[in-house]
Structure formats: structure tokens, C-alpha cells
Amino acid sequence: MAGELRNCIRCGRPFVYYGGKPICPECKEELERDFLKVYNYLRDHPRARIKEVAEETGVDEEDILDFIDEGRIETKYVSIEDLQEEEEHPIEKASIDEVVKEIGKAKEEIEKEKQKKEVYRTYMAEVISKKKKNKPQ
């Protein structure tokens, strides 16, 4: 698989990109070290606020939020109050809004299908009734 030359979105250095997040190997290593700092801090301080974790570990809040978005850190281990303070986290809010819209669409489709089935049942009941009336005895 041939890679393509890209610039790292974190540091701007060129690197050979093979897929995934366009981050150079050096920045990936740095991010992994930062993740381990956050992970270890949360292990010793469960439910710590994101700002506190950032201050104590030196890891940027955005990187911590990225770890949450990637599913590497579950929100049950971090105080959700930070996400609510910051005008709600855009990815979580967007995801919730999308789910609500999809549920609404699904409900509408189910209701339409129910109506179609009811019309069909009524039609079939009429056809059967007519056949019974026209059937010689």
C-alpha cells in the first residue's frame, strides 16, 4: 500500500500518510504519552474535571476531549460538568441531535407502515366479504 506525502495537522512536518488521522509519527508518540498521563491521572483521581486533568497533567483540554470522542476515555471517568460548561461538547450535541432526528424519522415511517397495513386489511376484509356474499350456497 503506497502512502502519500502530507503535512501533520499538529506540527506541520511532512510525513508519509497511510490513513487515519493525518498526524506524523512523532506527534502520534507524543499523543500516546499524553494519553497515558491522562489515563494514569484519572485512575488515581476518578471523576476529575477536565480542566483539573489538563492542569495536573499538562495535556491540552482539546486533546483530552479528543480522547473522549475517540472512545479511549469514557465520560464516566471524567466529570461531565466540564462538557456542560463549555456550551456542550459539539460532537456530543451533534450526535444527540442526529439520534433524536433519526428516531423521529423512524417513528414517522413506522406510523406510515401501520396506516398502509390498516388500509390493506380493510381492503382485504371487503374483498373477502364480497366473495362470501357472491359465493353460491
pLDDT score recorded for residue 84: 47
Each residue of 106-128: pLDDT tens digit?
A: 888 888 888 888 887 887 878 78
CB 5 within 8 A of CB 36: no
Cα Rg, the chain, nearest whole Å:
28
List the chain domain ranges. Answer: 22-86, 90-137
DSSP secondary structure, 19-62, as one string: SSS---HHHHHHHHHHHHHHHHHHHHSTTEEHHHHHHHH---HH
Cell of 22: 493525518
> pTM, whole model, 2 decimals?
0.54
Ranges of residues in the chain whose predicted pLDDT is under 70: 1, 76-97, 135-137
